[in-house]
Structures are given as C-alpha cells and as structure tokens.
Structure 1
Amino acid sequence: MPHPAPVVRTPDARFAGLPEWPFTPTYLTLDGLPGAPIPLSIHVVDEGPRDAAETVLLLHGEPSWSYLYRRMIPPLVAAGHRVVAFDFVGFGRSDKLTSVGAYTYELHRRTLLGVMEALDLRGVTLVVQDWGGLVGLPTAALDVPDRVARLVVMNTFLPTGEETPSLAFRAWKAGVGVVRTWLPVGPLMRLALPASQRRFVPAYTAPFPTRASKAGAVAWPLLVPTEPGRPVAAHMTAAREALSRWDKPALLVWSPQDPILGGVARHFERLIPTAGPAVEVRGGHFLQDKSGAEIAGYVLRFMEQTRPGRPT
C-alpha cells in the first residue's frame, strides 16, 4: 500500500451545503511551520469590517473546526465587530499533515501567531474552548499580550500533568491511542452533542474523509500532558503563572454538563484575578453548538462593559 502524501486537503465538495454555514472560505498561506514540508493553507472565516475598532478571534478545539462557532459569528458581526475564526492545521478546511507524529504543540502555537500577524489582529477579544484554550491562553499571555484586549474562556484547561485527569478524559486519550487513525469521529460527536444538535454531525465529520486526514485529530489528545515533565506541560505551567497576573478583563462561560471539563471553571475563577464567577450555559463539551447565540450575547455585553473609556 502506498504511503499517503505528507499533506492533504479535504475536497471542497465535502463542505457543500452545510446547514447554518453561509460563509465564503478564504485562505492564508503560512510558510515555515514546524513539521510541515511545504507552506500550508489555513482556512479562515473573516467577517465584518476589516477596520472595526475591535476584533473577536474564535479558537476551536478537538475534533471540531470553525463550524462550531456558526451561531456566534452572525450576532458578533451584526454588532459591528470583525470576527475571525480559523481551522488549525489538521482540522476543517485547512491543510492536514498525514503523520500523527508531525503534530506538535509548537506547530499549533506558530499557526495561531501566523494568523494573528498575517491579519494584523489587534484589540482582540480572544475566545477559546477545549484545545483552543491550551494553545490560545499561553500564546495570549506569553507571546502577544499586546494584541489581546480581553479573554473569554470556555470549557478548557491548562494541564501540567500534576493533576489527576477525569475518568472521561483518561478513557478518551486511551481510546484514541488504541484506534489511532481509525478514530470514529461521527459516533464520538453523536455522543458528545445534545440530542437536539445531532443533525449537525455530518458537518463535523466532513473534514475527515480518510484515515490519513484524521492524523491531527488523533494527535491532539495524545499531546495533553498527564504526567509532569512532558513537553507541553512546561507551556501550561508558564501560562498558569502568567494568567495569575493577568490584569485585563476575563469572562468565563461554562457548561457544567461537560463530562470532561464541567467542573474546571472553579480553577479559572481562582487562577485569573479579573475573572468573576463563570456564566453557566447548557450544551455539554461543545457548548457553542447548542448555546452559541446565547454565548455571543454574553460576549457582547462583556465587551461593552469592559470597553476602554466606558464610564464606570
């Protein structure tokens, strides 16, 4: 059997006619990404005025893509903001490396930095969930704090390997390690999404037509540190230290029904000095899918209340 090409892109036809997804795909080309043998094309949704005073940057997690934010993008744009969501390498419409070992934390960090620099994003309200938090929070706090105006943190964590992972996550990571690129994305999403949202499962499986295209989805859970001293753990420890001194606004939006991260909001309430009690919404791990419009409303009020120069 021939080896797959080192880089593939999911055919456009897989994304035709997705429900609630009217956005025209655009692409950035990023060169020199770690582990990439050629420049990679990164799919970007870039909506709203390019000269807007404020930009909302939405980061997805595992095994989703920008589609997860389909119900948040329209109300944020309607309020006059520029809204950017992109697919990390290996996900959505972005290029995919076909070797699990090619995916590293540095690859995803450099992709995020590359998108922010290429689009010159400033005054950013950074919205993160799942692996979007593991990449976005350290990058915001340590690399580009001057570009980030505020944080919105949703159902994520900064694992250092010193804490005991939930049983659900341990089972998830162990299962991925066994099945590897046979990863059954469709059945997993059917389990993770509320019953009312399962009609959208085909949109989440669209990016993964072959085993080779799933390498990035396999790699992410395997990168999560579950013991001290692992490479990614150092990034998480440094991010925790930086966020403990964060002096810009922060909003926590959480779904307690998440079997993996439902109880982690308390950690961020204690960690980030500017974060008050988490706002709770329904939806489980993929809270944006069920409660996206509601979350967008919370984000808009948060942005209005924390705008520089607003009377107190």
Structure 2
Amino acid sequence: MPQIIRTPEERFTSLPDYPFAPHYHALPGGIRLHYVDEGPPDASPVLMMHGEPSWSYLYRFMIPPVVEAGYRVLAPDLIGFGKSDKLGAKSDYSYAGHVAWMRDWVEALDLRNVILACQDWGSLVGLRLVAAMPERFAGVVLSNGGLPAGQEPPPAFAKWRAFSKYSPIFPIGKILQRATTRTLSDAEVAAYDAPFHNRASKAGARIFPSLVPLGENVAVPDQRKAWKVLEQFERPFTCAFSDQDPITRGGDAAFLERVPGARSNDLHRTLHGHHFIQEDDPQGFVDAILDTARKAGV
C-alpha cells in the first residue's frame, strides 16, 4: 500500500480569493480526493481541471462568474495536489492511475452533460475522461494543453522535464509565477505552495512531467485509442490557447484537424497570457466556456 500523505488543514487557512467549501470523495485504498462544488446541484456541470503543479486554486477567478451564469462548477484537485491526498513515492503515480481516480469520482457523482474546461495536465486527464465516457460530455474547452501520443518533446518541455527530475529544489509557487505574465502577490505564491508541506508531498508534482507521453512512453497506446474516440466527437470543442506559451504553442492544430466538434466550431479564440492562462486571462477563458455551453445547449 502506498504511503498516504494528507496536508495539514491549517496550511489552507486565509487563502486569498478562495472562499469555497471543501468536498471530499473516498477513492479505493483510502485515498481522499478534494473538490470544489459551487452552484445549484441540479444545474449543468462545468468541470474545471487543473494541471501541473497547480491545484483548484488556479480557477478561483473563474468559478464565481460561471456559477453566476447559472452553472454548477466542479474543480477537483488531482491526487498529489491541492487538498487531495498525496502519495509518498513517485512510483505510486501513473497516467492510467490518474485517469482511473478521476473516472471513479465522475461516476460516483454521476455527472452528465458536462462542459470540460481543461489546461495542462487537466487536459491530459480530462480528454482521456471524454474518450472513456463521451456520452457524459456536452462540450470541451481546451487551453494550453493536449493529448500527446509519442511525439518528440518540444525543447521548452524537455528542459522542464529535466528540471523536475534533477533540481534540488522545486519551488511550486515560483514555478507558477514564471509561467504567468501578471505578478502574483506573495500570498498567492504562498497559496500555490500551501499543499506541499514537506519533500515527500511533492512526489506527484515531481513525477508528472516524466509521465507525459512525449517520446517513448507506456501510455502511448492508450493515447492512440483515446484519439480514435475524439476523432468521432461531434459536440462543441473549443480551442482557446494563449499567445505567449512556449510549450503548447500550436497545440490546437491537431484538434482543429482531427476532432469533428472542433472543425465545425466557430468559437475558437486566442487568449492573452502565458501558460497558466487562468491567472492571466480568466475572463477570456470564462467567455469561451459560456459560449461553448450555449452552443452545446446546456
């Protein structure tokens, strides 16, 4: 059994702009998954999925306006991040494991007519969920992410992967700051650091870049299967990539070419900011979500 690490609750007190009540789901093995759940429980759900090395705090500026528009917003913390449990060894994590954990949660809540909003690893996991159960998803909004299946890693990503493996320090908040155009306050940087109270708690964040299936990777066959499903996905699929992200620049091209719901969609747009667009252009991302939800009829 993996060592389960639970971040002390006092680490999350007085976080700026994050007033959301915690909700928890018990996964197999006693692992606890945290999620934000705001808005009417019977409203159409918008699933906001974060990436590496952030957590649901990343969506704090986007959750209220989407709720105000009449939707139920769910923002989970992936295992190893945020208020969710962390596992003590890098070997405790796998791409397939993350997908299985999140599928367990989606099925437990019986989410339907979902609009997926995803970025970074939120797209790697979220798009696999769409491929695994497309009947549950009414639409997708993708920003600064993708579904790689064995391509060679871009130079910027290769450097990031090496840093995550070998750097003696891994300053989460400062990493977020380096990938945003706006200046985060000291309190915001501290909020991104909050989930990681010791070295072992960073195992999931450390291993994530190495799990991305760029180059030879055990996950490539599953990625190719997922692409076959997405190539039949006809519901609205909106690309909203940013104009200053060196890692994912041009990543929307594959979706525009291969996904029917993207080819037939006139809602694609360019957002203004760096990799963590939720910090730099939250309103632009919100607008893309609401436009996509309307187009999907939910």
**Same fold, TM-score > 0.5, yes or no:** yes
Equivalent residue of 2:278, what SS? Answer: helix
Q: Which residue of 1 aligns with 2:5?
A: 8
1:294 and 2:281 matched: no
1:153 and 2:150 matched: no
Q: Which residue of 1 aligns with 2:40?
A: 49
Deviation larger for 56-65 or 254-263: 254-263
Q: Which residue of 2 aligns with 1:133?
A: 123
Contact 1:76–1:83, Cα closer than 8 Å, also in 2: yes
Per the normalisation by structure 2, the TM-score is 0.93
CA distance in 1, matches of 2:96, 2:295: 34
CA distance in 1, matches of 2:113, 2:144: 23
Per the normalisation by structure 1, the TM-score is 0.89
| Identity level (%) | 41
Q: Which residue of 2 aligns with 1:267?
A: 254
Contact 2:176–2:276, Cα closer than 8 Å, also in 1: no
Contact 1:71–1:292, Cα closer than 8 Å, also in 2: yes
Contact 1:124–1:147, Cα closer than 8 Å, also in 2: yes
Q: Which residue of 2 aligns with 1:227?
A: 215
* Aligned residue type for 1:149: A
State the shift of 1:198 in Å.
4.9
Contact 1:30–1:111, Cα closer than 8 Å, also in 2: yes
CA distance in 1, matches of 2:50, 2:223: 18
C-alpha distance after superposition, 1:22-63 (max 9, x if no partner): 1011111111xxxxxx311111101111111x1101111000
State the shift of 1:211 in Å.
0.5
Match of 2:178 among 191, 209, 212: 191
* Aligned residue type for 1:81: Y
Map 1:12-27 → 2, pairs under 5 A = 12-27=9-24
Contact 2:54–2:176, Cα closer than 8 Å, also in 1: no
Map 1:104-253 → 2, pairs under 5 A = 104-141=94-131, 143-161=132-150, 163-179=151-167, 182-199=169-186, 200-228=188-216, 230-253=217-240
C-alpha distance after superposition, 1:84-128 (max 9, x if no partner): 111011000000001001001122111111111121111111111
CA distance in 2, matches of 1:29, 1:218: 24
**Structure 2 residues not aligned, in runs of 5+:** none
Q: Which residue of 2 aligns with 1:35?
A: none
CA distance in 2, matches of 1:110, 1:132: 14
